[in-house]
Amino acid sequence: MKKNHLSTETLVFEIISAIAALFYMGLQVYYGIVYGAGAVRIVMNVLILILVYMGLTVLAIYPERVNGLSREVCTGAIRKYTIRMVELIKLVFVLSLLFTSICDALGYRVDAAYSLIVMGLILVVAVVFEVKIIKILRKLK
């Protein structure tokens, strides 16, 4: 992300996401050692986190790709809202994985509805910010 597009809020979201991702990876290794989970399972869990994290980071670097806008249009508030949306989605995703990993390490079983709740939360974040972006785009026309 370009330095001039980093707000304090975005930087905080990114730092929290990175720390949570590192804790998640550590807990995956711990879970694998304590409960005898296979190395393939641990690697696959960590690989999924890394791929989604990197994909969302690329979208935060190139926010015009999120809505298919040109660089000329994706400026100001539109750019700020798009970056914030992607960072919040990344934060929700990583924290949800960290929560399930903590529960696994403690021996608790997470209900299947948890995945639906997380997807709903991600959807709410996306809809709220996309509505803001669409309102700005309508004013431009």
The reported pLDDT for the residue numbered 1 is 46
What does the pLDDT look like over 12-53, one tens digit per residue? 989 999 999 999 999 888 888 887 778 888 899 899 999 999
The reported pLDDT for the residue numbered 38 is 81
The reported pLDDT for the residue numbered 5 is 58
Q: How many domains are there within the chain?
A: 1
Domain that holds residue 122: 6-138
Measure the N-to-C terminal CA separation of the chain; round to a whole number of Å.
28
Contact 69, 136 (CB under 8 A): no
Q: Output the six-digit token pair for 109.
A: 């079983």
Note whether residue 1 is domain-resident.
no
The reported pLDDT for the residue numbered 87 is 94
Note whether residue 102 is domain-resident.
yes
Q: Return d(Cα 133, Cα 129) in angstroms, integer.
A: 6
Instruction: Tell me the pTM.
Output: 0.88
Contact 129, 82 (CB under 8 A): yes
pLDDT less than 70: residues of the chain: 1-6
Note whether residue 97 is domain-resident.
yes
DSSP for 96-120 reads HHHHHHHHHHHTPPPPTHHHHHHHH
Note whether residue 68 is domain-resident.
yes
